[in-house]
Structure 1
């Protein structure tokens, strides 16, 4: 059984505008601050086994004990985002993110449970992330990645920024 040791690390929403969505969440829930990465550079991205461009931007912030991501896709190509929302971004929950000890083994285990791999992407920094199609089972995708120091450091950075945040400068650039 996979799920008993996989706490949710992030809630991610597919939106048209990551900045507007982040500011709305700040206003409604006091989450933040949000760090925006425009046009996230990827080394590769495969959707349903086919190499495809995945041009996206994300805003990352903290909401209590969980990270929140707002993600927008800029290109019209098929993707795990468009699988969940074929009509386009509506601000809905797209995925929950989980750390797994072995990405390939976890992809296979979810596949055995009827939840296939929808997309596998690798950042320029070498971090691989997989979107598992759990739409029929849970109504959203799952994002899996291994908790490498670069990734866990990023999660710690976002959480620590929220600890002493005074509400000023709710949007910040990741460069």
Structure 2
């Protein structure tokens, strides 16, 4: 448990082929089901303080209480995902911490000297997220995510779906 952020709740993997990655996690790792959104709609997204027109696909599944997130950026817009890929990396890019007191955690991180690398919002104010530019080693970017609203209920749905999952219906496309 982090003395600053709490428990790691999600590992986020940036991939070049999200469908291939889901297949790997299902067939090799036995993890699923995956909840897949082909085109995530953000309310806003900023990279290093500047608005960016990020297009991405996201897939979520759980293994126990740990959520696995797969992210494929679909355009060349500035983002920490693009920086990660442009550095020749693919795989674990961030660890996420969830909070029902997002603003308090955000302010605490800033007061400790963390710098926002990217941030955005999905589905209203209770869908905020921020990535802190604290990567000293590949895969150790820190994300915080507000789970005080609908996102928290959805994340719990993903976790519950994984409990006792029998391998059927491994990829569940949302928003179609």
TM-score range, shorter chain: 0.7 to 0.9
1:152 corresponding residue in structure 2: 152
Q: Which runs of 4+ in 1 moved over 6 A?
A: none
Count of aligned residue pairs for this structure pair? 173
SS at match of 1:173: strand
Compute the TM-score of the two structures, normalised by the length of structure 2: 0.87
Secondary structure at the aligned position of 2:136 is classed as helix
What does the per-residue CA deviation read over 1:68-87, in whole Å, with 9 as the maximum and x for residues that have no partner?
Answer: 01000011011021233324
Please identify, of 117-126 and 72-81, the stretch whose mean Cα deviation from structure 2 is larger: 117-126
Residues 85-122 of structure 1, C-alpha deviations (whole Å, 9 max, x = no match): 3246x431111110134434433433344431011111
User: C-alpha displacement at 1:4, in angstroms?
Assistant: 5.1
> Which residue in 1 is equivalent to 2:84?
84
Mapped contact 2:98–2:147 kept (Cα < 8 A):
yes
> How large is the Cα RMSD of the aligned pairs?
2.1
Question: What residue is the counterpart of 1:9 in the other structure?
Answer: 9
* TM-score normalised per structure 1: 0.88
Contact kept, 8 Å, 1:133 with 1:140, in 2: the verdict is: no
What is the alpha-carbon distance in structure 1 between the residues aligned to residue 36 and residue 25 of structure 2?
Answer: 14
Cα contact 2:11–2:96 (8 A) shared by 1: yes
- 5+ unaligned residues in a row in structure 2: which ranges? none
Flag structure 1 segments of 5+ consecutive residues without an equivalent: none
